[in-house]
Structure 1
Amino acid sequence: MKSFKGQYLGAALRSFVRALHQSEAVLRQILRNHGLERIDEEQWYDLNTARSIYYTVGAQVGERSLHGVGLQMIDAAQFPPGIDDIRAVLQSLDAAYRMNCRGPEIGAIICELEGDHTASVTFATPFPCALTRGILQGCARKFAPDALIEHSREGCVDRNGPSCCFHVEW
């Protein structure tokens, strides 16, 4: 598995706190198991800790909940200003990722526009597929509610692949 080194902004990490707000006991347990009492939105956390938290949410609460965390990311994490349509949000994903994740080996998000209403988005990041799929769907839902998102048949980080690639059509 690819090695990642860096830090992750608490504002983005708090998306899992918001998603699990009704499961206070589970939330406290996950934080405690990672040596934390709470998530400070202004603080930077070790990337491996953030990664472990997201994988723990998936394992203990389920991929559906982890997907829900990703859906909320557009409202929780920092994004560049001036985003007003789906093309802009897709093209800004790597910049947004770098606003919330920093370090020498953090991976990348690559968007290739394929036509007027299609794009390919590759998440070569340390995070689980359900989370990245949720992030992508949350971004699309905000600007193109009827967008269709399909996971490529080639590779998946959950199956030890280097990335997850999605085809987006709107």
Structure 2
Amino acid sequence: MSKLNPYEEGVEAKGAAVLSFINGVPAPFRDKARTVLASHGIEDIEPDSWYSQQSYLNAFEHVVEEMGDATLQEIAKSTPENAEWPPDVETPAEALDSIDDAYHMNHRGGDIGYYEVEEHDDRTVIMECKTPYPCDYDKALVKRTAELFSDEVIQLTEVGDQCRADGGEQCRYEVTW
């Protein structure tokens, strides 16, 4: 994994989002997750407090190095599972369209990037993700969000001509159900 950096210095992540990092790992490894966060200066996490996004991103790198991509994906899946959704969100397309709002509610202090639904029809969404988080995190987050609002199998395919993992600025995914 390449070095993860915020788009601007001073960006912060809300404690509620940071707690999903802990809740996303299997119970026997939660103390390890807390230790990883603490090793990057994130301790005594409160849901309404704010923490350095750079420290948070460093913890993501640490998890991938020590616990692997599967753990990263579990953390990503727990994020929408633990999120509070607006009552009017009922479909996968509506849920995917609301990811950016939630992302901006949980980050502050400068350019944080975005999650954007570029186009959609009744069963397909093209989603562009430009965030400093790992691509595998975004893929799992997007797919799990759609799954929470559908009884059908969700397919996610990378469709862009660039990928952040390969030095691109954003990733594009086609999500179908």
TM-score by length of 1: 0.89
Q: How far did residue 16 of structure 1 move?
A: 1.4
- What do you get for the CA RMSD once the two structures are aligned? 2.0
Separation in 2, partners of 1:157, 1:72: 22
Q: How far did residue 78 of structure 1 move?
A: 4.8
Q: How far did residue 116 of structure 1 move?
A: 2.0
Equivalent position of 2:18 in the other structure: 13
Equivalent position of 2:80 in the other structure: 74
Task: Give the aligned residue type for 1:3.
Answer: Y
TM-score by length of 2: 0.86
Identical-pair percentage: 26
More strand by share: 1
Contact in 2 for aligned 1:12/1:76 (Cα 8 Å): no
Query: In structure 2, do the counterparts of structure 1 residues 81 and 55 end up closer, same or farther at CA, with 3 Å as the change threshold?
Result: farther
Q: How far did residue 3 of structure 1 move?
A: 2.6
Equivalent position of 1:4 in the other structure: 8
Equivalent position of 2:146 in the other structure: 140
Q: Structure 1: which 5+ residue stretches go unaligned?
A: none
Separation in 2, partners of 1:149, 1:71: 14
Q: Secondary structure at the match of 1:111?
A: strand
Equivalent position of 1:38 in the other structure: 44
Query: In structure 2, do the counterparts of structure 1 residues 122 and 153 end up closer, same or farther at CA, with 3 Å as the change threshold?
Result: closer
Contact in 2 for aligned 1:31/1:38 (Cα 8 Å): no
Task: Give the aligned residue type for 1:155.
Answer: Q
Separation in 1, partners of 2:126, 2:96: 9
Separation in 2, partners of 1:78, 1:126: 23
Equivalent position of 1:150 in the other structure: 157
Aligned length, in residue pairs: 170
Separation in 2, partners of 1:28, 1:95: 27
- The within-5 A match list for 1:101-120 is 101-120=107-126
